[in-house]
């Protein structure tokens, strides 16, 4: 059996917008369930808030998320790392994630032999991108 780690993002009322944005970046299918869909007590959360969302990206990336309810407490810091050797694909993700966000480390060569960059997207999620460079023999 294979174990997988999937980031679960927490939003302050804009989970639907954020998850739709990530779908525009990564493609694939997005399933959204609101608190109203669950017909369950929501601790004061409006019925249109997202109780659970799952994005299955076109290349296997999986992101999940939801809106915080009033009892959920403060927002934590979330960082997500993307890596691989398909430079065109990863640079495309990088460009779309950085749009309307803040680049904290420009995508460039790194001391550990990859192209590396870091940005915070418009929803406050921290993204680290590593593009493996071809090895020369």
Tens digit of pLDDT for each residue in 6-46?
888 989 899 999 999 999 999 999 999 998 887 765 666 68
Q: Which of 15, 6, 4 has the alpha carbon at shortest distance from 72?
A: 15
User: Is a pLDDT exceeding 90 seen at residue 122?
Assistant: yes
User: Is a pLDDT exceeding 90 seen at residue 101?
Assistant: yes
pLDDT digits (tens, 9 = 90+) for 72-92: 665 556 789 898 889 999 999
Cβ neighbours for 59, distance < 8 A, ≥ 6 positions apart: 26, 27, 28, 89
Mean pLDDT across the stretch 85-104?
94
- Within the chain, where are the H helices? 15-26, 35-38, 87-98
- At residue 43, the pLDDT reads 62
Listed by start position, the domains of the chain span 8-69, 79-132
Can 8-69 and 79-132 be said to share one CATH topology? yes
Question: Architecture of domain 79-132 in CATH?
Answer: Roll (3.10)
CATH 3.40.30.10, applies to 8-69: no
- At residue 58, the pLDDT reads 93
- At residue 69, the pLDDT reads 74
- Please, which pLDDT band fits residue 1 given cuts at 50, 70 and 90? low
* % of the chain exceeding 70 in pLDDT: 84
DSSP 26: H
């Amino acid at each position: 059996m294979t174990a997988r780690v999937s980031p679960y993002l927490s939003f302050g009322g804009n989970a639907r917008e954020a998850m739709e944005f990530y779908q525009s970046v990564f493609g694939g299918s997005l399933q959204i369930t609101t608190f109203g869909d669950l017909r369950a007590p929501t601790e004061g959360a409006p019925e249109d808030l997202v109780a659970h969302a799952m994005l299955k990206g076109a290349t296997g990336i999986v992101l999940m998320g939801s809106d915080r309810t009033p009892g959920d407490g403060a927002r934590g810091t979330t960082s997500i790392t993307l890596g691989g050797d398909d430079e065109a694909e990863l640079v495309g993700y990088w460009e779309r994630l950085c749009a309307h966000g803040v680049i904290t480390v420009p995508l460039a060569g790194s001391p550990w032999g990859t192209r590396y960059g870091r940005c915070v997207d418009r929803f406050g999620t921290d993204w680290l991108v590593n593009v493996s460079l071809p090895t020369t023999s």
